A and B are shown apart, each in its own frame.
Chain A
Amino acid sequence: MPELRVEALTHVYSAGTPFQKTAIENITLSIPQGQMVGLLGHTGSGKSTFIQHLNALLQPTSGKVTYDGRDINADKYTRRDIKGQVGLVFQYPEYQLFEETVYKDIAFGPKNQRLSEAEVDERVREAADFVGVKEKYFTRSPLEISGGQKRRVAIAGVIAMRPGVLILDEPTAGLDPAGCRQILDNIRNYRDKTGSTVILVSHNMDDAARMAERLIVFDHGHVAMDGTPEEVFSRPEELIAIGLNVPHAAAIAMALRKRGVQLEGSIYTHEQLKAAVCRAKEAGVC
């Protein structure tokens, strides 16, 4: 199984100038294939810098990133190949759409991979299907469709390269609740069907709680916490000290416990909260 490994990764911006700034420092972690990871951290915590190292957009000042045992920065060919294996969807990806039609825009990635016409066509249809972009949109201009549709086309443009690791930076930012749900469902569906690793960068704790199997919390360029949602959300004080939040359900559970309601188990999703409150009610503790 391929694995994404990061060893002692450090990145310093504008090294040697007065504007020198260490964005991330000495980060070591590994992400096994197929894991759904939530990457949390406030603005400027280094998470954007970190994810740009995972597909060799940024080169480390020191340290190493390997995928499937290969150093991704070995030479310019691996640096190019890795872009197709580790797909990165930037924040507000709809601003990168440029082609005349939706179809051509989704095909941009696979075409850069020098695939045959037939292969490109297959990838485009598959990717569009994953994000729920219907065929009737293929001939439309990507600039005249709705905001949510644009976002999905842009994500499809990265999925079309069939990356083994899909990284999404705030994929739901600026979307309405229905749009958010849809995108998150699409992403989960993609992971389940292809077995890809998914790294979800988010501010939204509820999204992270609902989606991720593992949470990595960044703070000032370091990994502050790394564990399952249960482990991470069981330390709400630390999260708040970092400047993050806890999921609504966890906050409610915390408030209830403070008032003497005995709720069992770790609670960070709405379902868990509901179940725990029901159990407490049956037991007659409130």
Chain B
Amino acid sequence: MLKDITLGQYFPGDTVVHRLDPRTKIVLLIVYIVALFQAVSWWSYALVAFVTVLAMILGHITPKNIFKGLKPMLFIIALTALLNVFYTKGTPVVEGWIITWEGIGRSAQMILRIVLLIAGTFLLTYTTSPIALTDGLEKLLNPLKKLKVPVHEMTLMMSMALRFIPTLIEETDKIMSAQKARGADFETGSLMQRAKALLPILVPLFVSAFRRADELAVAMESRCYHGGEGRTRMKQMKLQGIDYAAFALGALFLAAVIVLRHFGL
């Protein structure tokens, strides 16, 4: 049951979107989010949605993949929509009702905004391997090293965390089965009892996480790891023609949304 969690799962592929430099994609995602929050009218939303769909087609990401990731967010989306329906003033749908036409329009836009936001983020994680993502992030944050921000260490921690999430999920599954086999009961009882019932899972999980961390540290040390200083890479990241083209398109897109906003559209 724990295996059903998708955490920005990566779908390997060889499309234009996959081939883009991770740095490009991160920057474009930021541009995309800024543009999304600049959108005010249906026209600008349509433009953002069009760009999203275009990127999905280029990256061979099906709507089904996106909706699978949306599932856990459904509650938040529904709540936002409901609040907007009820708390926007305007002309009531039926005389005396609290629901207004403006409210309906606004909540539809809010839904669209959240869905597009998530879709855009998923486009990044679906088409970029976690390693490439953290590498790109490290490169982008490099200037912060001047301010003594431990960028390399932070991104290393991030990629390790990403690497070990599936391992720990599997481990939790195993420990849960083992404790169930000893008659542990996780499903019934009061809240307090259930919290207590987690102890037989958490203790072995922590013990094994520490053991793994220890082993990983030894393995890294025995391969002469000594921090980011002077470390070279096997895969050098280099911006190519498609990256510059993507930047240009991104800039154009942002400009278009801002222009639309300027004209109140």
* Nearest A residue (CB) for B182: A109
Of the stretches B91-99, B123-131, B142-150, B200-208, the one at the interface is B200-208
Q: Which residues of B, 175-198, contact A by the 8 Å Cβ criterion? A: 175, 177-185
Contact between A84 and B183, CB atoms less than 8 A apart: yes
Contact between B181 and A158, CB atoms less than 8 A apart: yes
Q: Does A189 contact B (CB under 8 A)?
A: no
Contact between B182 and A158, CB atoms less than 8 A apart: yes
Q: Does B174 contact A (CB under 8 A)?
A: yes
Known: A108-B200, A143-B207. A96 touches B178 (CB 8 A): yes
Known: A98-B203, A98-B204. A93 touches B183 (CB 8 A): no
Contact between B203 and A83, CB atoms less than 8 A apart: no
| Cα(A57)–Cα(B175), bound, Å | 12
Contact between A112 and B183, CB atoms less than 8 A apart: yes
Q: Does B2 contact A (CB under 8 A)?
A: no
Inside 8 A of A83's CB, which chain B residues have their CB? Answer: 180-183
| Cα(A80)–Cα(B183), bound, Å | 7
Known: A96-B204, A98-B199, A98-B204. A108 touches B182 (CB 8 A): yes
Inside 8 A of B203's CB, which chain A residues have their CB? Answer: 98
| Cα(A96)–Cα(B182), bound, Å | 10
Inside 8 A of B178's CB, which chain A residues have their CB? Answer: 90, 93, 95-96
Contact between A80 and B185, CB atoms less than 8 A apart: yes
Inside 8 A of A52's CB, which chain B residues have their CB? Answer: 177
Q: Does A30 contact B (CB under 8 A)?
A: no
Contact between B183 and A95, CB atoms less than 8 A apart: no
Q: Does A62 contact B (CB under 8 A)?
A: no
| Main SS at interface, chain B | helix
Q: Does A205 contact B (CB under 8 A)?
A: no
Q: Does A88 contact B (CB under 8 A)?
A: yes
- Contact digits for A63-80, partner B, Cβ 8 Å, 1 yes 0 no: 000000000000000001
| Cα(A83)–Cα(B184), bound, Å | 9
Q: Which residues of A, 33-81, contact B by the 8 Å Cβ criterion? A: 52, 55, 57, 80
| Cα(A158)–Cα(B182), bound, Å | 6
Inside 8 A of B183's CB, which chain A residues have their CB? Answer: 80, 83-84, 108-109, 112-113, 161
Inside 8 A of B177's CB, which chain A residues have their CB? Answer: 52, 57, 90
* Nearest B residue (CB) for A157: B182
Known: A52-B177, A57-B177, A90-B174. A95 touches B204 (CB 8 A): yes
Q: Does A247 contact B (CB under 8 A)?
A: no
Known: A98-B204, A108-B200. A87 touches B175 (CB 8 A): no
Contact between B174 and A98, CB atoms less than 8 A apart: no
Contact between A112 and B184, CB atoms less than 8 A apart: yes
Contact between A95 and B185, CB atoms less than 8 A apart: no
Contact between B207 and A87, CB atoms less than 8 A apart: no
A126 to chain B, nearest CB (A): 16
- Contact digits for A126-143, partner B, Cβ 8 Å, 1 yes 0 no: 000000000000000001
Inside 8 A of A113's CB, which chain B residues have their CB? Answer: 183
A61 to chain B, nearest CB (A): 15
Known: A95-B175, A98-B199. A90 touches B204 (CB 8 A): no
Of the listed residues B182, B185, B200, B207, the one surrounded by the most CB atoms of chain A closer than 10 A to its CB is B182
Contact between A96 and B179, CB atoms less than 8 A apart: yes
Q: Does A208 contact B (CB under 8 A)?
A: no
Contact between B181 and A87, CB atoms less than 8 A apart: yes
B186 to chain A, nearest CB (A): 11
Q: Does A97 contact B (CB under 8 A)?
A: yes
Contact between B200 and A98, CB atoms less than 8 A apart: yes
Inside 8 A of A95's CB, which chain B residues have their CB? Answer: 174-175, 178, 204, 207-208
Of the listed residues A84, A93, A96, the one surrounded by the most CB atoms of chain B closer than 10 A to its CB is A96
| Cα(A93)–Cα(B182), bound, Å | 11
Inside 8 A of A98's CB, which chain B residues have their CB? Answer: 199-200, 203-204, 207
Of all A-B residue pairs in the complex, the 6 with the closest CB atoms, nearest first, are A112-B183, A98-B203, A96-B178, A88-B181, A109-B182, A90-B178
* B residues lining the A interface (CB < 8 Å): 174-175, 177-185, 199-200, 203-204, 207-208
A-B contact pairs, 22 of them (CB 8 A): A57-B181, A80-B183, A83-B180, A83-B181, A83-B182, A83-B183, A89-B181, A90-B178, A95-B204, A96-B175, A96-B178, A97-B204, A98-B200, A98-B207, A108-B179, A108-B183, A108-B200, A109-B183, A112-B182, A112-B185, A158-B182, A161-B183
